[in-house]
């Protein structure tokens, strides 16, 4: 315990006397509260919050956040209440501890209502004050550092959760340092074999030699060009190398950008001078230069990035930045300021996830993970110059729904930078998009394969549900008006022709005999759809006694045929179901 406290004291030794005093008071309060509690390692429990506080302090956290870290487990595990905390340490600390307590545990494996509710709570707490995320990330990091004391299965679960949720979240608010260590430790326990294999591919003498040689060449060149600054080099981290290799479908050692160099120079002007020097030494790779100084990333990250062709044709990513940019890149801004609800700086990704809540729970969790796994955001503008921020990979469809749900529903195509473009096309940052509208009927199901934002996906599904209800009912009406006619009506609107391609490895031709009942056709159609079939065509014959014979041509998997017939037999009013093929 003394050792943990010494670590914390050392971290804050340059802080003001008043801040240090408050922090040590909070350490005392934590010690009292957790007295008699122990961790799995056998240590006194309070060692954990003290070391979490040290991580927060060294990540740029302010005094309230450090104190929040010291007390983050008290309300949940001890008799201490939020009112006690507010009385002694003020409302800011209370809010931080409250946020941490509310989001005590979010699991990512489940897709049930409980997990979705927890996820929403987490995001709401973050929207109120992103300092909660600083404490949660530090908490998770200390737990990852001490995870060896837990059983293996639990280690794996916690590792997976960290990779899916806490690592990306830390990255979202720019806690780069914490994100990197979290993901490295989590990968090691989530998939020990893959981790070892990637490590072996990254830690080869050849790669090490390439890095050393690139560093000495560049540092000589920068010095000769009269540039002051510092240079560091690194080999890609296992988790990001693994992810990238997986997404490209190649082994890790075939990745081109395993080596990265970072130049830190005193001023912004020096950054551009250094860039010129780098490009005079190594040619830039086509289309691989990014000026995040002139145009910062969504989390306000600033740097110049250029991928250059180094010795022997290896691709090297060079980052150039000032010391101030470097400090912000490592620690993020989340530690320094809270995002109030009305704050225009509330991160766009967070607002997107909090915007509407009307989706089923499983879909909500997927939306969160889809959002978090997008590495970047893109900025799109309307012809009038209004801008919308969307996740990378967003399409014209997403943009149309971002403008307005009605625009999304009516969207037919887009005019992207003046060129006619399909609605399913992906957009890029800086695109100017005019949405072309004029659709009759609901958007095609196929759009769900292209829409990445929650707003678009919710909009498409809602419009399709309305469309599906409308179409069969109109057929039933036609029958009611003219009972003696034999109707041959395709059920337009139940599915677009494309949908058959996705599922339809087989067709089933079904005959359904029914007694007279208003709305029965709609029930039959929905029974088929729910059992996994897609209606390609249907016809209805109404007999003079008002009983009927419905034929359905259904696209489905072979093993769904029986399910579909069973589902049809369950519909009230059905007297017989036969396969005609
Ligand atoms: Mn904790």
C-alpha of residue 407 to centroid of ligand 1, in Å = 46
Q: Are strands 534-542 and 548-556 parallel, antiparallel or unpaired?
A: antiparallel
Per-residue model confidence (pLDDT) at position 244: 81
**For residue 49, how far is its CA from the centre of ligand 1 (angstroms)?**
6
Residue 326 Cα to ligand 1 middle (Å): 29
- Rounded to whole angstroms, the Cα distance separating 366 from 109 reads 11
Interatomic CA distance for residues 198 and 190, integer angstroms: 13
Q: What is the pLDDT of residue 280?
A: 93
- How many whole angstroms from 72 Cα to the centroid of ligand 1? 6
Q: Tell me the CA–centroid distance for residue 48 and ligand 1, in Å.
A: 7
For residues 37 and 65, the answer to whether their CB atoms sit within 8 Å is: no
Distance 335 CA to ligand 1 centre (A): 18
Q: Report CA(47)–ligand 1 centroid distance (Å).
A: 10
DSSP-derived secondary structure for 508-542: EEEEEEE---TTHHHHHHHHHHHTT-EEEEEEEEE
Q: Are 470 and 525 in contact (CB under 8 A)?
A: no
Q: Which of 77, 84, 506, 511 is catalytic?
A: 77
Tokens matching residue 163? 């990779």
Cα 100 to averaged position of ligand 1 atoms, centre (Å):
9
Distance, CA 139 to ligand 1 centroid (Å)? Answer: 5
Q: Compute the distance between CA of residue 241 and CA of residue 237 in angstroms, rounded to an integer.
A: 6
CA 327–ligand 1 middle distance (angstroms):
26
For ligand 1, the distance from its centroid to the CA atom of residue 104, given in whole angstroms, is 8
Q: What is the CA radius of gyration of the chain?
A: 30
Residue-level pLDDT at 359: 53
Q: Cα separation of 409 and 462, whole Å?
A: 10
pLDDT at 87: 96
The one catalytic residue among 76, 376, 498, 566: 76
Q: Is 414 in contact with 396 (CB distance < 8 Å)?
A: yes
Containing 318, the helix (H) or strand (E) segment is strand 315-321
State the DSSP string of 34-77. Answer: TTT-B-TTSSBTTHHHHHHHHHHHHTT--HHHHHHHHTTTHHHH
Neighbours of 383 (CB within 10 A): 11
Ligand 1 centroid–CA 433 distance in Å is: 46
Residue 45 CA to residue 78 CA, distance in Å, equals 11
Residue 111, token pair as written in the block: 């897709």
77 is an active site residue: yes
CB atoms within 10 A of CB 86: 16
What local confidence, expressed as pLDDT, does residue 234 receive?
83
Q: Token digits for 412?
A: 């037919």
Find the 184 Cα to ligand 1 centroid distance in Å. 20
Q: Bridge-partner residues for 326, per DSSP? A: none
Q: Are 524 and 514 in contact (CB under 8 A)?
A: yes
Length in residues, the chain = 581
Grouping H, G, I as helix, E, B as strand and the rest as coil, residue 581 is: coil
Q: Quick one: which H or E segment has residue 422?
A: strand 419-422
Given its phi and psi angles, is residue 378 left (phi above 0), alpha (psi -120 to 50 degrees) or beta? beta
- Which residue from 466, 465, 492, 467 is spatially nearest to 478, judged by alpha carbons? 492
Q: Ligand 1 center to residue 117 CA distance, Å?
A: 21
Distance (Å) from CA 137 to ligand 1 centroid: 10
Query: Given this model, what pLDDT does residue 339 score?
Result: 34
Cα–ligand 1 centroid distance for 163 (angstroms): 18
Per-residue pLDDT of the chain (581 residues; tens, 9 = 90+): 789 999 999 999 989 999 999 999 999 999 999 999 998 888 999 999 999 999 999 888 899 999 999 999 999 889 899 999 999 999 999 999 988 887 655 555 545 566 666 677 777 777 777 888 899 999 999 999 999 988 999 899 889 888 888 888 888 777 888 998 999 999 999 999 999 999 999 988 888 888 889 988 998 898 888 888 888 888 888 998 898 888 778 888 888 778 889 998 989 999 999 999 999 999 888 777 888 898 887 667 789 999 898 887 788 989 999 988 887 777 665 544 433 333 445 566 777 766 655 555 566 666 777 667 666 677 787 887 777 778 778 899 999 998 888 899 999 888 888 888 889 988 887 788 989 888 878 899 889 888 888 888 888 988 988 876 554 333 333 333 333 332 323 232 333 334 333 444 577 888 888 887 666 777 888 888 888 888 766 666 655 566 677 777 788 888 888 888 889 988 888 988 988 77
CA of 120 to the centre of ligand 1 (A): 20
pLDDT at 183: 93
pTM of structure: 0.62
For tokens 């927890």, what's the residue? Answer: 118
Residue by residue, DSSP assigns 340-377 as -TT-TTS-HHHHHHHH---S-HHHHHHHHHHHHH---E
Q: What is the pLDDT of residue 76?
A: 86
């Amino acid at each position: 315990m003394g050792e943990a406290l010494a670590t914390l004291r050392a971290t804050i030794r340059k802080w003001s006397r008043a801040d240090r005093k408050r922090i040590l008071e909070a350490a005392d309060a934590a010690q009292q509260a957790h007295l008699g509690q122990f961790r799995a390692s056998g240590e006194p429990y309070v060692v954990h919050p003290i070391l979490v506080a040290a991580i927060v302090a060294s990540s740029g956290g302010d005094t309230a956040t450090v104190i929040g870290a010291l007390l983050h487990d008290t309300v949940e595990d001890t008799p201490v209440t939020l009112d006690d905390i507010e009385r002694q340490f003020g409302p800011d600390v209370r809010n931080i501890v409250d946020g941490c307590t509310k989001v005590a545990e979010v699991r990512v494996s489940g897709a049930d209502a409980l997990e979705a509710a927890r996820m929403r709570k987490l995001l709401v707490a973050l929207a109120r004050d992103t300092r909660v995320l600083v404490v949660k990330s530090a908490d998770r990091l200390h737990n990852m550092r001490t995870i060896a004391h837990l059983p293996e299965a639990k280690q794996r679960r916690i590792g997976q959760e960290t990779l899916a949720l806490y690592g990306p979240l830390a990255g979202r608010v720019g806690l780069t340092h914490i994100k990197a260590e979290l993901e490295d430790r989590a990968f090691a326990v989530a998939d020990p074999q893959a981790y070892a294999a990637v490590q072996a591919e990254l830690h080869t003498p050849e790669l090490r030699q390439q890095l050393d040689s690139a560093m000495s060449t560049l540092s000589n060149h920068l010095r000769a060009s009269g540039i002051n600054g510092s240079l560091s080099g690194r080999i890609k981290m296992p988790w990001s190398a693994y992810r990238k290799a997986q997404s490209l479908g190649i082994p890790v050692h075939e990745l081109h950008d395993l080596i990265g160099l970072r130049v830190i120079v005193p001023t912004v002007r020096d950054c551009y001078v250094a860039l010129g020097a780098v490009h005079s030494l190594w040619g830039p790779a086509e289309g691989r230069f990014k000026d995040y100084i002139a145009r910062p990333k969504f989390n306000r990250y600033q740097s110049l990035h250029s991928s250059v062709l180094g010795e022997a044709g290896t691709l090297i990513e060079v980052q150039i930045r000032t010391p101030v940019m470097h400090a912000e890149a490592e620690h993020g801004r989340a530690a320094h300021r809270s995002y109030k609800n009305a704050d225009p700086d509330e991160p766009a990704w967070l607002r997107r996830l909090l915007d509407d809540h009307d989706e089923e729970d499983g879909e909500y969790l997927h939306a969160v993970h889809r959002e978090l796994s997008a590495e970047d955001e893109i900025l799109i503008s309307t012809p009038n110059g209004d801008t919308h921020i969307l996740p990378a990979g967003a399409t014209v469809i997403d943009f149309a729904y971002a403008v307005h749900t009605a625009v999304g529903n009516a969207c037919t195509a887009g005019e992207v930078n003046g060129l006619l473009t399909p609605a399913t096309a992906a957009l890029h940052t800086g695109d100017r998009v005019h949405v072309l509208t004029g659709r009759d009927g609901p958007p095609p199901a196929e759009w769900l394969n292209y829409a990445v934002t929650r707003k678009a996906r919710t909009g498409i599904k809602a419009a399709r549900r309305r469309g599906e209800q409308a179409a069969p009912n109109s057929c039933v009406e036609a029958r009611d008006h003219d009972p003696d006619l034999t109707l041959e009506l395709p059920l337009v609107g139940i599915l677009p022709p494309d949908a058959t391609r996705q599922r339809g490895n087989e067709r089933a031709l079904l005959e359904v005999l029914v007694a007279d009942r208003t709305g029965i056709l709609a029930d039959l159609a929905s029974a088929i759809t729910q059992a996994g079939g897609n209606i390609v065509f249907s016809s209805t014959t109404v007999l003079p006694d008002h009983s009927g014979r419905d034929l359905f041509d259904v696209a489905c998997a072979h093993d769904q045929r029986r399910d579909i017939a069973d589902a049809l037999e369950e519909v009230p009013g059905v007297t017989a179901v036969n396969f005609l093929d």
